[in-house]
A and B are shown apart, each in its own frame.
Chain A
Amino acid sequence: MMVRPKHQRLVLVTLAVAAVLGAVLLAMWGLQDRAAYFVTPSDIAAGKAEPDTAMRLGGMVVEGSLVRERDGVSIRFDVSDGKAVTPVAYRGITPDLFREGSGVVAEGRLQPSGLFVADHILAKHDERYMPPQMANEVAAR
């Protein structure tokens, strides 16, 4: 049976609308627990960060806090936003330009103990670059 053109257009329009709605609903569902919030050490100190959810921690690496573990590939350092300090643990090669006193964004999860375990570390890419979120923090200070 061949459908009539008019009918067919209706079906196509309905399908298109359904696709758009479906995409938005799927996306909202997916975003519910998969978006990583940006937090600062102050947020963590104030108890605003929920443990064991993916998040990004931003701030400055505190001078003198960088410690290399015995295995040679794990490090610990403190991240500060000027008001509070969060200890961070990371296993891996640190990115170019990661050093004490420089800006950092760490992706990972907060342990109930208060230690932030990072899966990835993003450092600023050149001397001029600062993550926008951090530039705001610095400007606000």
Chain B
Amino acid sequence: MIAEAGLASLWLAAALAALQLGLAAGLGGTPGRQLSSIRAVAIGQGILTVLAFASLVLLFLRSDMSVLLVAENSHSQKPWLYKFSGTWGNHEGSMLLWVMVLALAGAILALFERRLDRRTLGATLGAQAMLALGFFAFLLFASNPFERLSPAPVDGRGLNPLLQDPGLAFHPPTLYLGYVGLSVAFSIAVGGLVRRNVGPAIARAMRPWVLAAWVMLTLGITAGSYWAYYELGWGGWWFWDPVENASLMPWLAATALLHSVNVLAARGGLRAWTMMLALVAFSMSMVGTFLVRSGILTSVHSFAVDPTRGSFILALLTIYIGGALTLFAFRIATVKEGAPFEPVSREGGLVANNLLLSVILGIVFVGTLYPLLAEALSGEKLSVGPPYFDAVASPLALLLAALMVIAPQLRWRRDAAPVLPRIAPGLVVGSGVLMATIVLAPGIGLLPRLGLTLGATLVPASLQPLLNRSLRRTPLAVWGMCLAHLGVAVSMIGMASDSAFTRERLAAARPGDKIEVGPWLVEFRDITPVAGPNWTALEAELRASRGSGVVVLNPQSRFFAEPPTTTNEAAIDTSWNGQIYAVLGEQDGEGRWQLRLWWKPFVTLIWFGGCLIALGGALALIGRFFRERRPRRRGEDAFA
């Protein structure tokens, strides 16, 4: 019954989406007058989609094996957390989650949006309904999560052990909130273009959504990176895998949008530009969904593949992105000119930021899709990986960091004052670090060296906008910006430190052997069998000592019965200045065990920085909620 109820809610929600689109398109009277009914329909659609998703969760929690999806992806002997998170550890469930976030975003927009005029909001909700309708159709016709299986099997096939991790409970929902939160920015841009109403009001309505989506994307990417780091046991934190790029591309677009939407909200500038970015950002979310869900690319995440669905998403993608770009092309001439500014100004800095982010986005986009294109055109199979992305994107990222040193300190419209004194603290710290790396670590590569230098330069520079202000009266948005920029600096230092100073050892060892890695001496003590709720494992006991400090590491080689799989569980110990990371491999013919050890100085800064970035965004978002309730004071720095 639950499955049928879920399916019925999904159909009803789809019908409401169609109704919402019809009302917004002017069937049944002027859309402006129909706004209250459009709102009600949008809210109903949101509630029904939540019901459908809740039914699926319930089916997974109850291990109802008469549902095909549950039987194929779950197992009754699984811990309940993995039954719960297993709901979205498969194609259909994760698409339902995606659509639920989309419908919920529409409902929240309908409930709370008061800044847009009635007609623009009507058009916006119409656009949101159109997006939802396509993805409802995709669910109902190409990936029905509620399909029954008859006869029901005794038990399910289990969840991929790699996905049996608390990370899965957190990582996809966060990413989806980010991906799909951008749909609202897309819809608002469409609404504004349709109503020929592109101005600061649009930007103010868009801003909280962009900020919230961006915070979620940042958190999702950070969490995903850490998850891959400890779960895959390869010692790396970013693999330039197509699925990773699929989340990075919307993030890059959203980061650019986040900066330009403020120019539009505060200064009325960069109108067409901001609309374009809003369209591109959600388009990147859809491209990402296409890449992940179509199974079209070889990828370490390829357990989520199903080639037959690719063409459906591709068709949706073409209609939505093509339609939005066509609308943009037709309406761009009606968009008013923004306020002028000089090249050296806050606006100028933000334009440079947007250009650099767009170029990086373009490079990631081409690199990610090139294998597809090459195979389609010449039948040639190839893959594009770290050598390309590291060499082409990293220098631009460093350039972007250099821009961040000065741009936040420039004044709006024009800035004739000398720049050097303002960046002096950063330059002093940065050149100090540069000297130190040259003297102390002459052998490291150019990119890590520049990364350390620029990261160090950026630490004081990112906090400088807080100087000469009364800290208690500084708006939260300014704190947020400073914190986010500091996060970029911290993360960059972590990345550079990891690639410059990591020490790695690969050894075959017998109990009693000692292995040196970086400052650590690791003693291989013993190997013992252990058992978990649905796995058995061999666990090594390693005692790592550095000076007087001793830590015990227990890397495991786990065996899961359902489905039969072996996984490596890395053991990681974190200290203030880095992590020691151990992986247990197989036993060779002579009774030796393979051990892989890493010492990674300051690697944790990568994710710590990511959290700071997200926290900065969250602060800015909270600040917006409080500030927009108060009338704006004159001459106040709306975005600092």
Using CB atoms and an 8 Å cutoff, list the residues of chain A in contact with chain B.
1-6, 8-9, 12, 15-16, 19-20, 22-24, 26-31, 34-38, 54, 56, 68, 71-73, 91-94, 96-97, 105, 107, 122, 125-129, 131-133
Contact = CB atoms under 8 A, between A and B. Distances in A.
Given A15-B355, A30-B367, A38-B383, 20 more contacts: A16-B273, A20-B362, A23-B358, A26-B392, A30-B388, A35-B371, A35-B384, A36-B382, A36-B384, A56-B382, A71-B508, A72-B594, A73-B507, A73-B585, A93-B594, A94-B585, A96-B566, A105-B298, A125-B162, A131-B302
Nearest to B506: A73
B227 to A, nearest CB: 15
Given A31-B384, A127-B563, A72 B363 contact: no
Given A19-B362, A131-B298, A125 B392 contact: no
Contacts of B370: 27, 31, 35
Contact of A96 (B302, B359, B568): B568
A6 B338 CA distance: 9
A45 B563 CA distance: 36
A35 to B, nearest CB: 5
A90 to B, nearest CB: 11
A23 B302 contact: no
B366 A24 contact: yes
27 contacts: A2-B341, A2-B413, A2-B414, A5-B338, A8-B338, A8-B341, A12-B273, A16-B358, A19-B362, A24-B362, A26-B392, A30-B363, A30-B388, A31-B370, A34-B391, A36-B384, A54-B387, A72-B594, A93-B233, A93-B506, A93-B586, A93-B594, A96-B567, A107-B385, A126-B162, A129-B302, A129-B305
Nearest to A132: B298
B297 to A, nearest CB: 8
Interface string B190-206: 00000000000000000
A23 B361 CA distance: 8
A30 B392 CA distance: 6
A68 B596 CA distance: 16
Nearest to B591: A72
Contacts of A132: 295-298, 302, 305, 307
Given A38-B381, A71-B508, A133-B381, A31 B366 contact: yes
Contacts of A96: 565-568
A115 to B, nearest CB: 20
B158 to A, nearest CB: 9
B160 A126 contact: yes
A28 B414 CA distance: 37
Among A16, A54, A56, A72, the one with the most B-chain Cβ atoms within 10 Å of its Cβ is: A72
Contacts of B361: 23
A4 B340 contact: yes
Among A16, A35, A54, the one with the most B-chain Cβ atoms within 10 Å of its Cβ is: A35
Contacts of A56: 382-383
B588 interface: yes
**Dominant secondary structure of chain A at its interface with chain B:** mixed
A114 B355 CA distance: 46
Contacts of B337: 5-6, 8-9
A35 B342 CA distance: 41
B565 A31 contact: no
Given A31-B367, A36-B382, A126-B303, A97 B565 contact: yes
A122 B301 CA distance: 11
B185 interface: no
A15 B272 CA distance: 14
B636 interface: no
**Dominant secondary structure of chain B at its interface with chain A:** mixed
A12 B363 CA distance: 20
B546 interface: no
A37 to B, nearest CB: 5
Interface string B309-343: 00000000000000000000000000001111110
A54 B384 CA distance: 10
A8 B360 CA distance: 24
Shortest 7 CB-CB distances between A and B: which pairs?
Answer: A72-B508, A23-B362, A38-B381, A93-B585, A27-B366, A30-B392, A5-B337
Contact of A68 (B270, B384, B588): B588
A127 B508 contact: no
B167 to A, nearest CB: 16
Interface in B546-599: 563-568, 583, 585-586, 588-590, 592, 594, 596
B342 A68 contact: no
A131 B388 CA distance: 22
Contacts of B380: 37
B183 to A, nearest CB: 24
B300 interface: yes
Given A15-B351, A22-B359, A27-B363, A35 B383 contact: yes
Contacts of B298: 105, 131-133
Contacts of A26: 359, 362-363, 392
Nearest to B300: A122
Contacts of A15: 351, 355
A101 to B, nearest CB: 14
A111 B174 CA distance: 45
Nearest to A33: B387
B295 A23 contact: no
Contacts of B303: 125-126, 128-129
Contacts of B388: 30-31, 34-35
Contacts of B564: 127
B311 to A, nearest CB: 15
A62 B564 CA distance: 21
Nearest to A136: B381
Contacts of A16: 273, 355, 358
Contact of B160 (A54, A93, A125): A125
Interface in B342-362: 342, 351, 355, 358-362
B70 to A, nearest CB: 16
B340 A34 contact: no
Interface string B403-438: 000000000011000000000000000000000000
Contact of B302 (A2, A29, A125): A125
Nearest to B587: A72
A18 to B, nearest CB: 8
Given A5-B340, A31-B370, A132-B298, A126 B563 contact: yes
A37 B596 contact: no
Among B391, B508, B564, B567, the one with the most A-chain Cβ atoms within 10 Å of its Cβ is: B508
Nearest to B271: A9
Contact of A72 (B161, B297, B358, B592): B592
